[in-house]
């Protein structure tokens, strides 16, 4: 049996009007790989994750998840735009954590985690509660399970959001600057949870981040984006110590100076 890559972007192009945000992107991610996406503002990092989460349409190319096209489906040997059922089937493998948490404000932490497993996966309430409790435990939030999001700090909300995404048992987790909206003293607790997740070798992770230290320590691979293209990619230690591309060097220098 051929082992498909977990995710592959094949010549993917994304435009907003006249602006080409991603230009013929090619990116292949192996099962269990942890990829850090870095780059200057506006380089298209968020767009990559949003396309994979099907929050954005694409204007060219194909995205595949375990070999199966995400935005398309095969019909009579041809790729045609995917219908809702197909999209939902493939999308089930992907989960996402947002910069602004996006917890449901009218539900407690536990209800936030249980909602989709019950409604989408059809779990019984008992099963969903057991699963959610376990995950809230994992992110260190089991003692706050009955709190509403507005009763929680940013770091706590983000940890609940991580548990909520995991409750759907995705194979790929997307993190879009998940610590950027947090006060500095709360960043550590969220990164700690992500580290713990990283130890699960089956979970594939794509993370857009401005925390270079974390990217270096955590990722198997770093992709440096610039103007909608991957300018340079490689193993983190090598990339950070000895970047090859002029743009990467500039970017790292600027980041270092900013402290």
Partner 1 sequence: MGIRGLAGVLFLTVAVIWYLSGLEGYKIFVPGLAQGAAMTLQITAAAAVLAVIAAITAALSKLYGPAPLRWLAITYIEVFRGTSALVQLFWLYFVLPVFGITMEAYEAAVLGIGLNIGAYGAEVVRGAIISVPRGQWEATIALNMTRAQALRRIILPQAFAAMIPPWGNLFIELLKTTALVSMITLGDLAFRAQQMNQTTMKTVQIFTLVLLIYLAMSLAITIGMRVLEHRAARGILRARAA
Q: Which of residues 93-112 bind partner 1 (CB under 8 A)?
A: 94-96, 98, 100, 102-106
**Residue 29 or residue 52: which is nearer to partner 1 going by CB?**
52
Burial of 49 (0-12, 13-18, 19+ CB in 10 A): buried
Smaller CB distance to partner 1: residue 43 or 157?
157
Continuous H helices in the chain: 45-52, 84-91, 109-119, 125-138, 154-166, 184-198, 212-218, 236-241, 246-258
- Please tell me whether residue 46 binds Mg ion under the rule CB under 5 A: yes
The smaller minimum CB distance to partner 1, of residues 54 and 248, is found at 54
Taking CB atoms, the residue at the shortest distance from ligand ATP is 46
- Using DSSP bridges, classify how beta strands 204-208 and 34-38 pair: parallel, antiparallel or unpaired: parallel
Question: Contacting partner 1 (CB under 8 A), which of 14, 34, 72, 164?
Answer: 164
> What is the dihedral sign for C-alpha 34, 36, 42, 44?
negative
In the complex, minimum distance from the CB of residue 114 to ligand ATP, in angstroms, rounded to a whole number: 31
Q: Which among 42-50, 54-62, 128-136, 225-233 is the span making contact with Mg ion, rule CB under 5 A? A: 42-50
User: Applying CB under 5 A, does 209 fall inside the site for Mg ion?
Assistant: no
How many residues can be counted in the chain?
259
Question: Which C-beta is closer to partner 1: that of 103 or that of 222?
Answer: 103
With respect to ligand ATP, which residue has the nearer C-beta, 47 or 71? 47
Residue 18 CB burial class (10 angstroms; 0-12, 13-18, ≥19): exposed
CB of residue 149 to partner 1, shortest distance in Å: 8
Task: Determine the Cα–Cα distance for residues 220 and 124; give it in Å rounded to an integer.
Answer: 37
| 122 secondary structure, DSSP code | -
Q: Of residues 6, 33, 38, 43, which one binds ligand ATP by CB under 6 A?
A: 43
- Partner from Mg ion, partner 1, ligand ATP, none binding residue 21, C-beta < 5-8 Å depending on class: ligand ATP
Q: Does 150 bind ligand ATP (CB under 6 A)?
A: no
36 DSSP β-pair partners? 207, 222
Q: Which of 4, 27, 2, 53 is nearest to 228 (CA)?
A: 27
Q: Which stretch binds partner 1 (CB under 8 A): 67-75, 144-152, 204-212, 225-233?
A: 144-152
CB of 119: closest distance to ligand ATP in angstroms?
Answer: 28
> Cβ-count burial of 4 within 10 angstroms (0-12 exposed, 13-18 middle, 19+ buried)?
middle
> How far is the C-alpha of 209 from the C-alpha of 82, rounded, in Å?
30
Q: Tell me: does residue 168 bind partner 1 (CB under 8 A).
A: yes
Residues lying near ligand ATP in the complex (CB under 6 A) = 16, 21, 39, 41-47
Binding site for partner 1 (CB under 8 A): 53-55, 88, 91-92, 94-96, 98, 100, 102-106, 115-116, 119-120, 148-151, 164-165, 168
């Amino acid at each position: 049996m051929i082992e498909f890559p977990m995710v592959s972007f094949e010549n993917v192009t994304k435009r907003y009007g006249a602006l080409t945000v991603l230009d013929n992107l090619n990116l292949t991610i192996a099962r269990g790989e942890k990829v850090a996406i870095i780059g200057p503002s506006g380089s298209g990092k968020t767009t990559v994750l949003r396309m994979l989460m099907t929050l954005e349409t694409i204007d060219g190319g194909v995205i595949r998840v375990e070999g199966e096209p995400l935005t398309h489906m095969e019909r009579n040997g041809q790729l045609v735009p995917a219908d809702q059922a197909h999209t939902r089937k493939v999308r089930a493998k992907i989960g996402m954590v947002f910069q602004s948490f996006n917890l449901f404000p009218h539900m407690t932490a536990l209800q936030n985690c249980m909602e989709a497993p019950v409604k989408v996966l059809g779990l019984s309430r008992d099963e969903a509660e057991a699963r959610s409790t376990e995950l809230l435990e994992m992110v260190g939030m089991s003692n706050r399970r009955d709190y509403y999001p507005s009763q929680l700090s940013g770091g706590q909300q983000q940890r609940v959001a991580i548990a909520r995404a995991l409750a759907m048992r995705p194979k790929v987790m997307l993190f879009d600057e998940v610590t950027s909206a947090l006060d500095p003293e709360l960043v550590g607790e969220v990164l700690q949870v992500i580290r713990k997740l990283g130890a699960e070798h089956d979970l594939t992770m794509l993370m857009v981040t401005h925390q270079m230290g974390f990217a270096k320590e955590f990722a198997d691979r770093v992709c440096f984006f610039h103007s909608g293209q991957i300018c340079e990619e490689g193993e983190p230690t090598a990339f950070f110590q000895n970047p090859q591309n002029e743009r990467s060097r500039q970017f790292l220098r600027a980041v270092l100076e900013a402290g």
